[in-house]
């Protein structure tokens, strides 16, 4: 029982080390925009999952536990893909 509780607590603490980043992007209009952004972020090993919501114009990034992605890197990659960052929010 103690082992199970320890594993559960460890799982919660590891998830706490992962970052959830929400990036408002201006200029995205189609699914090709989403593919271009995904392609730019693909080499980043710190990213566990990246989702592009075209309706809300938001890119959501989840990093691996213990990893982070700087705002500067995010802005640079979005700009290289041809778009502008309106805001970045970390949860």
Each residue of 7-28: pLDDT tens digit?
Answer: 444 444 444 567 899 999 999 9
- Residue 61 buriedness (CB in 10 A; 0-12 / 13-18 / 19+): buried
The domain made up of 18-90 is a member of CATH 3.40.50.280: no
If residue 11 lies in a helix (H) or strand (E), which one and from where to where?
helix 2-16
Predicted TM-score (pTM) of the model is 0.79
As a whole number, mean pLDDT of residues 63-89 equals: 96
For the chain, the structural domain boundaries read 18-90
CB–CB of 26/86 below 8 Å? yes
Range 25-37 average pLDDT: 92
Own/partner long-range contacts of 64-73 (Cβ < 8 Å, ≥24 apart):
64/18, 65/14, 65/15, 65/17, 65/18, 66/14, 66/17, 66/18, 67/18, 67/19, 68/19, 69/19, 69/21, 69/44, 73/44
Question: Is pLDDT above 60 for 74?
Answer: yes
């Amino acid at each position: 029982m103690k082992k199970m509780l320890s594993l559960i607590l460890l799982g919660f603490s590891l998830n706490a080390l992962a970052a959830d980043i929400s990036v408002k992007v201006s200029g995205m209009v189609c699914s090709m925009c989403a593919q271009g952004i995904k392609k730019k972020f693909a080499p980043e090993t710190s990213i566990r999952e990246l989702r592009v919501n075209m309706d809300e114009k938001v890119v959501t990034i989840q990093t691996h536990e213990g990893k982070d992605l700087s705002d500067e890197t995010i802005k640079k990659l979005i700009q290289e893909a041809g778009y502008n960052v309106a805001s970045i929010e970390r949860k």
